[in-house]
Amino acid sequence: MYIIFFTVGFIVIISIYNIFLRKGKFRDELNIVRTEKILLNKKNEVVDDKLIVYLNQIIKDDKITIVKKHYYLYCILISLFSFDLVSQNFHGSWKSDESNYYLTIDTLDNEFKSYKLLPFEDKGGLISCDRVKSPGIEKFIKKEDNVIVTNYWIDEQEYYVKVTYTLINDENIKAEFNGKLKGEFYYKVLNYKKVDFKK
Question: What pLDDT, in 10s, does the model give residues 121-176?
Answer: 888 889 998 999 999 999 999 988 889 999 999 999 999 999 999 999 889 999 99
What pLDDT, on a 0 to 100 scale, did the predictor assign at position 88?
46
C-beta atoms surrounding 163 within 10 Å: 21
* DSSP structure class, residue 193: E
What pLDDT, on a 0 to 100 scale, did the predictor assign at position 84?
45
Query: How far is CA 73 from each of CA 4, 64, 69, 70, 177, rounded to the nearest angstrom?
Result: 19, 14, 7, 5, 45
Strand partners, 114: 103
What pLDDT, on a 0 to 100 scale, did the predictor assign at position 75?
58
By C-alpha distance, which of 191, 159, 161 is closest to 175? 191
What pLDDT, on a 0 to 100 scale, did the predictor assign at position 158?
95
Low-confidence residues of the chain, pLDDT below 50? 1-2, 47, 61-66, 82-88
What pLDDT, on a 0 to 100 scale, did the predictor assign at position 77?
55
- Please report the beta strands in 67-158, taking only residues with DSSP state E, as ranges in sequence order: 92-96, 102-106, 111-121, 127-133, 137-144, 147-154
Interior/surface letters 110-147, b for 16+ CB within 10 angstroms, e for the rest: eebebbeeeeeeeeeeeeeeeeeebebebebeeeeeee
* DSSP structure class, residue 61: T
- What's the CA gap between 90 and 145, in Å, rounded? 11
**Cα-trace Rg, the chain:** 29
Residues 155, 180 contacting (CB under 8 angstroms): no
What pLDDT, on a 0 to 100 scale, did the predictor assign at position 108?
81
Residues 106, 91 contacting (CB under 8 angstroms): yes
What pLDDT, on a 0 to 100 scale, did the predictor assign at position 110?
86
Strand partners, 104: 93, 113
Q: How far apart are the first and last CA of the chain?
A: 26
What pLDDT, on a 0 to 100 scale, did the predictor assign at position 138?
95
Residues 173, 165 contacting (CB under 8 angstroms): yes
- What's the CA gap between 84 and 78, in Å, rounded? 10
